[in-house]
C-alpha cells in the first residue's frame, strides 16, 4: 500500500511539473536565447522620441546599415548634428523661457543630464566647444542584438533588398529603451528567408538563400 501512495505522489508531482513547464513554454528560454533583453544603457536614449515622435529615419543615425555588414551605433558626432543646438527637452526649455519672462531675465541654457553625457564624452566645454583640457571618452553602449561569432549577418544585403528595419528589430519607434524583439534563433532567420523567397519582400520578388554559407563561413 505504501508503494501505491508513493506512485500517486510521484505521478501527481510529474503532472504538475509538466503543467507548469507547458504553461511557461512561451517564456522559458533555451540557453543562448536573449529574447526580450533590455539592458540599461549609459545614456537614456529614447528611440520612441527620436524615431517615433520626431520621425527620424533609422538610416539617419545608423547610416552604415546600407553600406556595411554592421548597422553601427552612430558616432557622437552624429548626435551633435542636432544637439549642438538642442540641449534639453522642449518642455523644459519652454518652462525656463516662461520663468525667465516672468523673472525678466535672459533664459538660461538648459542642458539635460543625459545630453551632458555626450558633451562629456566629446570633451566639450560649457559652450559645447572642444576643450583641449578635457579628455574624450567614448560611450560604451551595451549591445542588445548580438549574434554568435560564427554567424555573419549583413545589414546591407537586407536593407538593400528592402527589408524594413522593424521586420527584425520590432517597433523600435515605440520603445523607450531598446529591447531585443526576436529570439535571433537560426530558425527565425531561416523561416524569414523561406518566406521572403516565397512571398517576396515589399512586393518585390527576391531570392533569400538558405544555403548554410549564406551566414556561416
User: Which of 43, 49, 53 is closest to 138 using CA atoms?
Assistant: 43
Catalog residues that contact other proteins under the rule CB under 8 A: 3-4, 6-7, 30-34, 37, 39, 64, 66-70, 72-78, 121-123, 135-143, 146, 148-152, 154, 156-157, 160-161, 183, 185-188, 190-191, 209-214, 216-217
Of residues 170 and 182, the one with the C-beta less far from other proteins: 182
Exposed/middle/buried for residue 27 (C-beta within 10 Å: 0-12, 13-18, 19+): exposed
Contact yes or no for 58/65 (Cβ under 8 A): yes
Q: What is the torsional sign of CA 24, 179, 44, 121?
A: positive
- The owner of cell 536573449 is 34
**Minimum distance of other proteins from residue 189's CB (angstroms):** 8
> Residue 19, CB half-sphere, CA atoms under 13 Å: how many?
6
Angle, in degrees to the nearest 10, between helices 113-122 and 76-83: 120
**Minimum distance of other proteins from residue 162's CB (angstroms):** 11
Of residues 108 and 216, the one with the C-beta less far from other proteins: 216
Of residues 2 and 102, the one with the C-beta less far from other proteins: 2
Amino acid at each position: 500500500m505504501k508503494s501505491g501512495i508513493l506512485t500517486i505522489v510521484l505521478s501527481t508531482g510529474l503532472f504538475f511539473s509538466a503543467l507548469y513547464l507547458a504553461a511557461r513554454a512561451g517564456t522559458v528560454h533555451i540557453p543562448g536565447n536573449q529574447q526580450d533583453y533590455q539592458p540599461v544603457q549609459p545614456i537614456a536614449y529614447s528611440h520612441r522620441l527620436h524615431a517615433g515622435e520626431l520621425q527620424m529615419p533609422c538610416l539617419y543615425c545608423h547610416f552604415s546599415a546600407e553600406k556595411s555588414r554592421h548597422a553601427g551605433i552612430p558616432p557622437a558626432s552624429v548626435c551633435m548634428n542636432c544637439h549642438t543646438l538642442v540641449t534639453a527637452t522642449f518642455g523644459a526649455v519652454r518652462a525656463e523661457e516662461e520663468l525667465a519672462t516672468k523673472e525678466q531675465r535672459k533664459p538660461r541654457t538648459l542642458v539635460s543630464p543625459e545630453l551632458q553625457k555626450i558633451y562629456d564624452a566629446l570633451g566639450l566645454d560649457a559652450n559645447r566647444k572642444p576643450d583641449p583640457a578635457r579628455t574624450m571618452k567614448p560611450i560604451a553602449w551595451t549591445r542588445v542584438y548580438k549574434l554568435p561569432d560564427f554567424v555573419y549577418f549583413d545589414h546591407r544585403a537586407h536593407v538593400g533588398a528592402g527589408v524594413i528595419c522593424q521586420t527584425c528589430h520590432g517597433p523600435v519607434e515605440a520603445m523607450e529603451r531598446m529591447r531585443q524583439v526576436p529570439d535571433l534563433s537560426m530558425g527565425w532567420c531561416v523561416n524569414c528567408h523561406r518566406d521572403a523567397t516565397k512571398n517576396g519582400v515589399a512586393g518585390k520578388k527576391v531570392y533569400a538563400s538558405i544555403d548554410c554559407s549564406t551566414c556561416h563561413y
